[in-house]
A and B are shown apart, each in its own frame.
Chain A
């Protein structure tokens, strides 16, 4: 089976940097991806890591360590619109398993 753990809530100040961690246990692993979901909306894709290391996409970066079964999403220069839930997701054989999500609140 597959299981993922991430913090339930994080609060950060506008303009700051925040890191959201994700640890996973899985049988069969292709990669780790991150999704953003605003209240009442659908999840949208942010990033994907298949190999160890850091992937950068604008203000967002994602990191993966396959040996540690660990990854994180790094959000820089936080903006109020970044307030949302963030999900890590493990891509295994034929299916995707999502974590329970981290609710990020950005405060002025």
Chain B
């Protein structure tokens, strides 16, 4: 049972470079989320999607873009990485927004130098 899989697990970027983080879930969930986690800040919602072809902004969307072309995949893009985007990124999915149980991927540790 794969659940939620994030790719890559680790990455170092130079300032100004771009990259895409991939999240894939095999549970047929409608809702998917991208969070970033920084020390003392908890999990902050970047963007989310309530279904294939839809996306919406969360608390901290600046500097990120997302796409949900297929139901099982949710991509997070950084067009021009900045040191402030150094963080651990978690993807999560849930059946709907009311079921309370979100399943998380193992995280992507991103360092921007």
Contact = CB atoms under 8 A, between A and B. Distances in A.
A97 B106 CA distance: 19
A100 B101 contact: no
Given A94-B50, A94-B56, A45 B101 contact: yes
Contacts of A44: 104
A99 B35 CA distance: 12
Interface string A3-37: 00000100000000000000000000011010000
Nearest to A98: B43
A87 B48 contact: no
B42 A33 contact: no
Classify chain A: how many residues form its interface, as a range: 20 to 34
17 contacts: A8-B40, A30-B98, A31-B100, A43-B43, A43-B102, A45-B102, A48-B100, A48-B101, A50-B100, A87-B43, A94-B31, A94-B50, A94-B97, A96-B45, A96-B97, A97-B59, A100-B42
Given A33-B101, A94-B56, A96-B102, 14 more contacts: A8-B40, A33-B100, A42-B105, A43-B90, A45-B103, A48-B101, A50-B100, A89-B102, A94-B31, A95-B33, A95-B58, A98-B45, A100-B42, A101-B42
